[in-house]
Amino acid sequence: MKQHTLASSCVFTGVGLHSGKPVEMRLLPAPDDYGIVFQRTDLGEEVFVHATVANVSKTRRSTELAEQGAKVRTAEHLLAALRCLDVDNVLVQLNAAEVPILDGSARPYVKALQECGLTEQKTERRYRVVTRHAEYRDAKSGSSIVVDPCDDLIVDLTIDFKSPMVGRQQAVYDATVDFATQIAPCRTFCFYREVAWLRLFGLIKGGSLDNALVIDDRKKAFLGGKVLQFDNELARHKLLDLLGDFALAGFPIRGRITACKPGHKLNTQALQYFISESIL
């Protein structure tokens, strides 16, 4: 398959989930072999941040990239949409440090990308192919990511929260799953009991019931009377996060990924490990 870029450009305005700051984001077509590259237009014409796992700088409640002092926060939902809609090459201009959270899912990105359409380019697409069975585990949390060779990308993900509202859930992504309708609409979530703690650490300043599901275990309900779109929406959102983090591999992945209790830290550390060991 050939590489693809956008057929036209699109623009988003919103706020950053963690910074709370307003941001305008513009997606523009880019040449063959360009990859996914952010440009911090507020910092200057030549300030670029490449979407690669080597640039991961922080993973507390989102994936943050940094290159030569310039940051891009909370890129994961956009990256998942770009990767799963086969956008190989794109320039993402931002006039602030954080990608707009919009409704907390990847649906608005998908809708805009579908409206933009794609252009086929001249160069063949490259892949990262899983070469052998390998495991990356965090003994403390009991979380793990295991990869195995496979002709297609398959992600099998399990979450297990000590919460009566969540518990153990599984979600799968493979060639039969339509990313746009089955994974992209699944929203960010957090627990009501951790909101004060997250605020104390300067996070979720832009968080609201319009862009996150907030789980109240004591009332056994979602704040604001929100209802789930899928029984396992929370596991599907973690799947969306993983797809976004693994887009930092630079190329689409061919292989089977089995993830247990993953998060941004585990995803990006595992990816870095698999690449450094030539497993991917």
Catalytic residues: 264
Burial of 64 (0-12, 13-18, 19+ CB in 10 A): buried
**Least distance in angstroms from the C-beta of 102 to Zn ion:** 12
Q: To which residue do tokens 């650490």 refer?
A: 201
Q: Quote the DSSP letter at residue 224.
A: G
CB of 237 to Zn ion, least distance (A): 6
How far apart are CB 263 and Zn ion at their closest, in Å? 10
Distance set, CA 259 to CA 51, 169, 200, 228, 277 (Å): 22, 12, 30, 22, 19
**88 or 241: CB nearest Zn ion:** 241
- Sign, CA dihedral 29-72-153-183, equals negative
User: What is the strand order of the sheet 90-94 is part of?
Assistant: 10-15, 22-29, 90-94, 36-40, 48-50
Reading the block at residue 238, the tokens are: 């973690």
How many of the other CB atoms lie within 10 Å of CB of 196?
A: 8
Looking at the Cβ atoms of 43 and 173, the one nearer to Zn ion is 173
Q: How far is the CB of 2 from Zn ion (least distance, A)?
A: 30
- How far, in Å, CA of 73 to CA of 50, rounded? 12
Rounded distance between C-alpha atoms, residue 145 and residue 270, angstroms: 7
Q: How far is the CB of 220 from Zn ion (least distance, A)?
A: 23
Three-class SS state of 239: helix
Cβ–Cβ under 8 Å, residues 23 and 206: no
- How far apart are CB 30 and Zn ion at their closest, in Å? 25
Kindly tell me which of 30 and 113 has the beta carbon lying closer to Zn ion. 113
Give the nearer residue to Zn ion in terms of CB position, either 118 or 212: 212
**Cβ closest to Zn ion, residue 65 vs residue 130:** 65
Give the residue with the Cβ less far from Zn ion, 30 or 203: 203
Which residues of the chain form contacts with Zn ion (CB under 5 A)?
188, 241
3-state SS, residue 90: strand
Alpha-carbon distance of 123 to 137, in angstroms, equals: 36
